[in-house]
Amino acid sequence: MQGPVGPFFQELGKAVAAKGSQAWRINFNGGDRYFWDAPNAIDFKDKIDEFKSFIKKTARNKKITDLVIYGDCRPVHKIAIQALQNSNVKIHVFEEGYFRPDWITLEENGVNARSSLPRDAEFYKALPEKPFPKALRFRQHFKSLIWYSALYYIHGARKMYGEFKNYRHHFNISPHVTIGRWLIKMVMRRHKPMQSNMRIKEISKTKYFLVPLQLCRDYQIKDHSQFGDMTEFVDFITQNFAKNAQDDTNLVFKIHPLDNNPGRLEKYIFKSAKKLGIKERVVCLDGGHLPTLVKNSQGVVVANSTSGIVAIHNGVPTLALSESVYNLPGLTYRKSLREFWHNPEKPDETLYNKFANYVITTTQRNGNFYNPEGIKAAVANSAEWLLQRKDEYSEHYEIQKAS
């Protein structure tokens, strides 16, 4: 079904077909069709109410053994999972890597809050210490991602009022507005990083807590947190900081690198800070090197962003306010946010190493969705895993039995 914008799913389908298996693709809009020029495409043009019976019929007629999707929260993906969960069809869910940019996530049945990863710190403590799996290294390739996104929405818009008139984007956004924002984002990326990195040098000389923001439309916020969107999260953080943090401490917000309307959230942050009388202590960055910001901070506060893993990896105190695979005693701060401003505690390095090793081994595939070389590696590693029909948690069960 739907994958990350760009050619990854098309290349994965070709790789699977080259090894003797059939790969079918369901297209929901012109963007899906544009990024799948391989054979065996099926267009779904009806209303979403009819999709459940459609996916059941398609799976039966085509003798489908595996469903492959990107993210488990899109409406059409939720319907497909529910329709096929009692059948013999295995569900495979791709998502951005828990340890990006060198890894992508591939799990059975669900990811993030729906992941089958153990949520028991004692489980990870009992694991043997091992070196991290070797991996090819990849740069974040935002330019390619932005370009793929623009192409996806351009071709989606062309067909939305014709062949795919019943299609509604899972984020309920206008394709025309989105195209414009992505193109502006592409142009601005030449200037923003330089400006932000200069500001980071100045900020690093101060005492501050870092808050990496997620996308307002992120399903990890909408479906798996107590916050309706990022504005509610910002309100919670700024109000708590104004009331409880020390006067010599600053608060740094970092806009998500894929936010294509960053000015909206930046204005909201400063408006909120001004009302609370802390505007002079609040900084908002659109761009810049996240690990540098993390390392120089007093601590990092997230909802359930994978930026939390970056912080823990660097030994920086981390507080996660919502459910995530890494929100475990010993890795994240277990007391209140009010106390965190005054007494942040560093994560357990040994526990983190065991946790990271296990998660990478069982749920991560070396590669990247957007970097050309990363796509090549991710396709090869993912196709091999899918075709082997490997139970990714076999090691997990063996370890549990042994213990």
Amino acid at 351: L
Specify the 3-state DSSP secondary structure of 104. Answer: strand
Sketch the domain layout of the chain as residue ranges: 8-140+368-402, 192-353
Helix (H, G, I), strand (E, B) or coil at 196: helix
Residue 182 confidence (pLDDT): 59
**pLDDT of the residue at 141:** 77
Give the tens place of pLDDT for each residue, 49-64.
999 999 999 999 999 9
Residue showing tokens 């008139």? 165
Q: How many CB atoms lie within 10 A of CB 124?
A: 23
d(CA 372, CA 374): 5
Task: Report pLDDT for 139.
Answer: 81
Q: Residue 159 in contact with residue 239, Cβ under 8 Å?
A: no
Distances (CA, A) of 64 to 19, 59, 72: 16, 5, 19
Residue 180 tokens read as 């414009």
**pLDDT on residue 292:** 94
Residue 20, Cβ density class (10 Å: 0-12 exposed, 13-18 middle, ≥19 buried): exposed
Residue ranges of the chain with per-residue pLDDT less than 70: 158-161, 170-194, 260, 262, 389-403
Question: Which single residue is written with the structure tokens 């899972």?
Answer: 170
Question: CB within 8 A of 137, min separation 6: which ones?
Answer: 102
User: What contacts 54, CB < 8 A, 6 or more positions away?
Assistant: 44, 46
350-403 pLDDT per residue, tens: 999 999 999 999 999 999 999 999 999 999 999 999 988 544 444 443 444 333
Name the residue type at position 323: E
Token digits for 99? 């340890």
Q: Does an H or E element contain 13, and which?
A: helix 8-18
In 3D, which of 67, 82, 70, 57 has the Cα closest to residue 24? 67
Alpha helices in 215-331 (DSSP H): 219-222, 230-244, 262-276, 290-295, 307-313
Given this model, what pLDDT does residue 390 score?
A: 46
Q: Token digits for 46?
A: 């009806």
Q: Three-state DSSP class for 271? A: helix
For the domain bounded by 192-353, which CATH number is listed? 3.40.50
Are the C-beta atoms of residues 67 and 80 closer than 8 Å to each other? yes
Predicted structure pTM score: 0.89
CB of 356 within 8 A of CB of 132? yes
Containing 360, the helix (H) or strand (E) segment is helix 349-363
pLDDT of the residue at 189: 60
